[in-house]
């Protein structure tokens, strides 16, 4: 729901604006403190650059104020188009389904991230929420899971259908995670890897995804994390530098720009990191609170990385959700 609608009362708006102003102020104070309190000489320049970027990135918080405004729509439309282009003209690269070494390591990575043995997935129903090109969907199909994959990118859906066509239990459907998912079944396992922070409303898309986990079922999220350690600040600074350098370019021009800078196999990864307009960063405590308040327990970070790789188990039933369509019961003819 947009924050401000015609039916929102003036008093509600003022309270909300004060809340947001406080949040932004607290966050900036925290960042300034981090920069000032760190060891004097230790990567100070890096931390200062990060702070400057963060100040300007406060607009991410302001996005909340925009609700369903034309500006918000423009950001989400650019992000949608960027991913769709990515899966169309750059389907190959390191760590993708076209990378044989990724496919070889896939099940080991799943074991590391989920802390479950690969054999656990056999026969389980699994939702890949934001499947992209389908590299994880394919790995889970090979592990014997009954996979349903959704994404808002038509080219992504086309590619994942082709990739997983040999698996009879595989389903795919275009879906916008900012809307409740049109699936009647809930799942033993929901996997959403590198997706929610690109939606423009991480919390809203989180809500739609978490509701798809059945009681006792498991959820794995990979969500962009804020930098904390040396090197992590610099990584973000590099992305911001490229984002600014390419902000007025078309998608094919961005690809050319990256080809001049990086080896072919890294171009996809850099395009993914710098081209979408929406790339929000989050903290573990923030996501943990969302999970616990949604009825999840055993919430833990399972992998040491700047990005938050989080596993959780649903303890209680999700709140009621709108249900309109059962993908497994009604197999798309084009699949
Ligand atoms: C970085 S890619 C990750 C793809 C895949 N999970 C993987 O790990 O290879 C992010 C994906 O999120 C999808 N996405 C972003 N916003 C979305 C939304 N609102 N609804 C559905 N999918 C979305 C994009 O289309 C894109 O395929």
CATH-assigned architecture of domain 100-226+281-314: 3-Layer(aba) Sandwich (3.40)
DSSP state of 94: T
Q: Which residues line ligand 1 (CB under 6 A)?
A: 83, 130-133, 135-136, 151-153, 156, 175-178, 193-195, 198-199, 205, 272
pLDDT of residue 85: 96
pLDDT of residue 27: 74
pLDDT of residue 237: 92
In angstroms, what is the span from residue 175 Cα to ligand 1's centroid? 10
Atom in ligand 1 nearest the alpha carbon of residue 128: 6
Measured CA to CA, the distance from residue 137 to residue 123 in angstroms comes to: 14
CB distance 79 to 277 below 8 Å: yes
In angstroms, what is the span from residue 7 Cα to ligand 1's centroid? 32
Among 78, 131, 150, 195, say which to mutate for ligand 1: greatest number of ligand atoms within 8 Å of CB.
Answer: 195
Q: Going along the chain, which residue ranges are E strands?
A: 125-129, 146-151, 171-174, 187-193, 213-223, 296-301, 308-314
Atom in ligand 1 nearest the alpha carbon of residue 156: 27
In angstroms, what is the span from residue 83 Cα to ligand 1's centroid? 7
DSSP state of 121: G
The two three-digit tokens of residue 78, written as one number: 């650019």
Q: What is the pLDDT along the chain (335 residues), one digit of tens a residue?
A: 445 554 555 566 667 767 777 777 787 777 777 777 766 667 777 877 777 677 656 655 665 666 677 778 898 999 999 999 999 998 888 899 888 899 889 999 999 999 999 999 999 999 999 999 999 999 999 999 999 999 999 999 999 999 999 999 999 999 999 999 999 999 999 999 999 999 988 999 999 999 999 999 999 999 999 888 889 989 999 999 999 999 999 999 999 999 999 999 999 999 999 999 999 888 899 899 999 999 999 999 999 999 999 999 999 776 544 443 444 433 333 32
pLDDT of residue 20: 72
The two three-digit tokens of residue 105, written as one number: 């390591």
Measured CA to CA, the distance from residue 51 to residue 49 in angstroms comes to: 5
- Contacts within 8 Å (CB) and 24+ apart, 296-301: 296/210, 296/213, 296/219
CB distance 145 to 123 below 8 Å: yes
Q: What are the boundaries of each domain within the chain?
A: 12-90+227-274, 100-226+281-314
Protein residue whose Cα sits closest to atom 9 of ligand 1 = 132
pLDDT of residue 214: 97
Measured CA to CA, the distance from residue 140 to residue 134 in angstroms comes to: 10
Protein residue whose Cα sits closest to atom 26 of ligand 1 = 132
Measured CA to CA, the distance from residue 223 to residue 192 in angstroms comes to: 9
Place of tokens 């931390």: 47
In angstroms, what is the span from residue 163 Cα to ligand 1's centroid? 17
Place of tokens 């350098």: 245
In angstroms, what is the span from residue 193 Cα to ligand 1's centroid? 8
Q: What length is written for the chain?
A: 335
């Amino acid at each position: 729901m947009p924050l401000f609608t015609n039916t929102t009362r003036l008093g509600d708006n003022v309270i909300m604006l004060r809340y947001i102003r406080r949040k932004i102020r607290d966050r900036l104070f925290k960042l300034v403190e981090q920069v000032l309190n760190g060891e004097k000489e230790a990567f100070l320049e890096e931390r200062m650059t990060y702070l400057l970027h963060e100040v300007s990135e406060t607009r991410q918080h302001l996005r909340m104020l925009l609700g369903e405004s034309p500006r918000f729509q423009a950001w989400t439309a650019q992000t949608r188009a960027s991913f769709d282009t990515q899966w169309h003209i750059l389907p190959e690269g390191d760590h993708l389904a076209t990378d044989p070494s990724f496919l070889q390591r896939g099940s080991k990575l799943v074991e590391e991230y989920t802390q479950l043995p690969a054999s656990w997935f056999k026969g389980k129903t699994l939702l890949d929420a934001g499947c992209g090109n389908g590299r994880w969907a394919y790995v889970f199909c090979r592990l014997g899971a009954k996979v349903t994959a959704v994404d808002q990118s038509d080219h992504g859906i086309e590619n994942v259908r082709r990739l997983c066509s040999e698996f009879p239990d595989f389903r795919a459907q275009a879906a916008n995670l900012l809307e409740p998912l049109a699936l009647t079944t809930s799942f033993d396992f929901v996997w959403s890897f590198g997706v929610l922070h690109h939606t423009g409303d991480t919390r809203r898309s989180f809500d739609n995804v978490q509701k798809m986990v059945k009681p006792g079922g498991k959820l794995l999220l990979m969500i962009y994390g804020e930098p904390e350690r040396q090197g992590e600040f610099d990584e973000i600074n590099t992305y911001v530098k490229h984002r600014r350098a390419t902000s007025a370019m078309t998608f094919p021009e961005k690809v050319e720009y990256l080809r001049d800078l990086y080896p072919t196999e890294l171009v996809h990864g850099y395009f993914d990191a710098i081209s979408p307009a929406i790339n929000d960063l989050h903290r573990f405590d923030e996501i943990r609170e969302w999970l616990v308040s949604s009825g999840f327990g055993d919430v833990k970070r399972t992998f040491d990385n700047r990005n938050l790789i989080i596993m959780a188990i649903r303890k209680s039933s999700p709140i009621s959700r709108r249900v309109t369509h059962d993908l497994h019961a009604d197999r798309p003819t084009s699949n």
